[in-house]
Every structure is written in C-alpha cells, then in structure tokens.
Amino acid sequence: MNSNTILIVELVLYFLVVFGVGFYFSRKKMTQSDFLLGGKKLPGWALAFSERATGESSWLLLGFTGFVFVNGLSSIWVIAGMGLGIIFSWLFLARRFMEETDKYKVLTLPDYLAVRFPVHGNRIRYLATGLILVFFTFYLGAQLAGVGKTLLTTFNLNPITGILLCAAAIILIAFLGGFISVVWTDMVQSIMMLLALGVIPILAFIQISTNDISLTNALSTAGNGAGSWTGGVTGFAFALLFFNNFTWFFGYLGGQPQLSSRFMALKNSKEAKVASYTAITWMLIAFFGAFFIGITGIALYNSADFADVETILPTMILDLTPPWIAGILLSGILAAMITTANSQIMVIASSVSEDIMHKGLKMNLSEKNWVTVSRIVVVGAGLLGLTIALTSESLVYSVVSWAWAGIGSTLSPAILMTFFWKRYSGAGVLATILSGFIGTLIWINSPLEELISSRFTTFFIATAFGIIFSLLYPEKKQEQKDEELVESVN
C-alpha cells in the first residue's frame, strides 16, 4: 500500500468516526434548547474541549504556524494576548454566563442582551444578529479555504474538491445532532488537534539535533527580525509590534458567540471549575506547540520556497512522519477547521431561528418544527460559507483577524459592561454594536490597519460609544416604567 493510499484510508476512517458520533446523537429526540445549546446536559470537560477546538481553528494550525514561520520569536506576544484572554474568560466570565443563562432562560448571546435591556430588545436582537451573520459567513469561508490548502498540500488535490467534500461533512454533522453532536465531535477532534500540535515540534527538534542544525543561526539569518523577541525593532516600533500581537486578548472577553455558548451550556459551578482547568491546560499545550512548529520550521525550510507559508504544518507532517502517522496528524488539521465551522453554523442557525424568527418575529411553532427550521438554516449557512470559500482568496489569518475584531471586539465590551457596569443602558448596547461594526469595516479597509490592529481599535471605539450613549440615554428603572404605564392608563 503506497503512502497516498494510507493517508486517504486514515482520513476516510476519521470522517466515518465523526459521522458516527453525529449520527448517534441525531437519533435522540431533541427540543430547540437541546439542538441550540445542549439542554444543559453536557459535562464541563467536554464543553471545554469543544470551546478550545472551536476557538483555535485553522487559523492556529495553518494561520498562526505560518505567521511564526515568517516572523519568528516575536510571535510569542500573540500567545501572550490570546492566553491571558482565554484564562480571563474561563476564570471570570464562564460562570457568570452560566448563571445569567439560567436566570434569564436564554439560548443565544443576542437574546441575552435583548432580554437584559427590554426597551430596546428587538433592535438589539436584530443588530447583534446582523453583525454575527455578516462576519461569521466570512469566518466560515476561511475555515473551508483552509481545508482546500490542507488537501492541496497533502494530496495535490484540487482545493475546490476538498472544500466541497468538507463543506458537505460540516453541514451534515451540524444538521444531524445540533449542538450536542457538535460538542461531542469537537471533543474527538480536539484530541486530534493536540496530537498534531504536540507531536510535530518534538519530531522537528529531533530532526534539527540529528542533522546538527543550529536553530539560533537559522533564526538570526532568516531575516525579518525572526531571531529577536522584539522583532528586530526597538522603541515605538516594538511597542506597536507588541501591542498589535497582544490585541487578540480583546476578542476573548465574552464576545465570541461560538465560545460563549459553551459557557452558557455549563450545568453547575462544579462543572464550570473542571471545564476551566481543562481549557487552560489545552490552551498551553496547543499554543506553545504551534509556536515551536513555526520556529523549528525556520531551521528546516526556507520561507521563500513556499508559495503559501500557511502550509508549513502539513508540509512538516508529511516530511517528518511515516504515512500512517501523517494521516492521523493531518486529520487533526481538518478537525480544527471542522470544529470551528460546525460551531459557526450553529451560531448562525440559532441567530436566525431563535433570535429573528422566534423572539423577533414572534413566530409560534412546535419544538419539532423549530428543530426543523434550525436544520434548514444550517444547510443555508453552510452553502453561503461554501460560496465565499470558492470565490475568495483571502488569507486565513487575515480573515479570522477581521472576524475577531468585528464580532469579538464589538460584543465583548457589550458583555463586560452588561456584567459589571450598572449604568449601562439599552441605548449604550445599540451604540456599542453599531460603532464596532462600522468602525471595523472602515478600519480594515484603511492603511491604519497596518499601524494598529482593528482588534483593539474596535474594542476601544465600541466601549467609548457604549459609555457615552449610556450616560446620555440611561436605562429607565422598572419602577419608573410601571409608574409611567399607570399614568398613561389613567
């Protein structure tokens, strides 16, 4: 059996396992709550694996490893920002999300904000849903584009064929079992991702040592400041480099609905504690694994030889491992894309069916029919993401960065102020979302994006507008609303 056949057989087996998990849960009778949020039935450790696999998609295995391969040691500041953001979200926000979900009986992030500020509830619901739909369809397209890159590198397979195959897989998994199916398949795929990120750096270091390659010399001669923790710059230039890399932090502060849905699905405080430890441990292994893949890649390859540096990891897997291991590790890359894409489709489905049709338009359907509607939206969202993947040539890292700003850095201020600032108002929420959305679109299409990342500017702009409009248009207390209602009746 030749190497290509072995790789294909293992990938087929991997997909069969994933489909099997999805099919198993599809046989269970589900309510809309089960389909969209798991019905509060899932263990914390499984939700943690799912949240981490969802958060660190093809951008980590392809985008970030390629980023480190080009930029070297200074890429560590990306890990600093992301790592602190993840730790903060799990230690200080996860339990609060769980408690607020139980208190207000909500299934989605937009619905939570709408219920908290009922005077502007529907406007908040529609605006937040629109924000999610705009950016998540492109985010979904980036995952599918990553699939194409992986299969092109692995099998010299036409990227379009790979994109079509994985789009079908992604839609089918979400369609069959909803949130529960997605979480359990995420758990399997999360382990696959850890294998890829944990094994390859070790094999790369062995290769470097065996061939007497100097990693230090390779970094110093690579150019682009790769051998310096400061990127070869000092003063204000380093401050900008550090800050722009660190700004991933702001997207983890509760505003990514595909991640916060895992917090909302937690059952109790004990499960939340277990999940926090699990997620932080996963993050440390995965992030430093990705970092060292890029660093060792500098010693083993010349970036000029790559038409696309974001294929460094699949290239290293094929070069450093025998075919039977390569098939397993390459499955980990596909797993990263599938987990995030599945979660994004579920967020889109919940936004359309729950936020717009159920809560916004007040449509009254049976639980069975709501599940059917959500499944129809899953298919539609998958096809839209597929169209974007087939017609866009944007880099995975860049597209994910923009989505992280447009959604995470916009909704994070809204969540933080809702949780921790009593004077935050419905008008402030609307101003936060509108300013974040418009600010991101303007910023990423201007030269300013090269100077300071929109991941920060969006957060700053959205926060500032939220504060200003909350002070100008404060939320009326319920007692005052009741008095006004009585007066109007009289």
Q: What is the DSSP letter of 439?
A: H
Tokens for 149? 């890159």
CB 158 within 8 A of CB 345: no
Query: Which domains are assigned to the chain?
Result: 3-396 (1.20.1730.10)
Whether 206 contacts 355, CB under 8 Å? no
Q: How far apart are CA 352 and CA 340, in angstroms?
A: 18
CA torsion through residues 78, 83, 89, 92, sign: negative
Per-residue pLDDT of the chain (490 residues; tens, 9 = 90+): 566 677 777 777 877 877 777 777 766 777 788 888 888 889 999 999 989 988 887 778 888 999 999 999 999 999 999 999 999 999 999 999 999 999 999 988 999 999 999 999 999 999 999 888 888 777 777 777 766 666 666 666 677 777 787 788 788 878 877 888 888 888 877 888 888 899 999 999 999 999 999 998 999 888 778 888 888 888 888 888 888 888 888 878 988 888 999 999 999 999 999 999 999 999 999 999 999 999 999 999 988 788 778 889 988 998 998 887 887 787 777 776 777 777 888 888 888 888 888 888 888 888 888 888 888 988 888 888 788 777 765 555 566 667 778 888 899 999 999 999 999 999 999 999 999 999 988 888 888 888 888 888 999 999 999 999 999 999 876 444 544 444 444 4
Collapsing DSSP to helix, strand or coil, 258 comes out as helix
Instruction: Determine the Cα–Cα distance for residues 443 and 455; give it in Å rounded to an integer.
Output: 10
42 and 265 Cβ atoms separated by less than 8 Å: yes
Secondary structure element (H or E) that encloses residue 426, with its range: helix 426-444
- Distance CA(381)–CA(391), nearest Å, equals 16
Give the span between the Cα atoms of 254 and 256, in whole angstroms.
6
Q: What is the pTM of this model?
A: 0.83
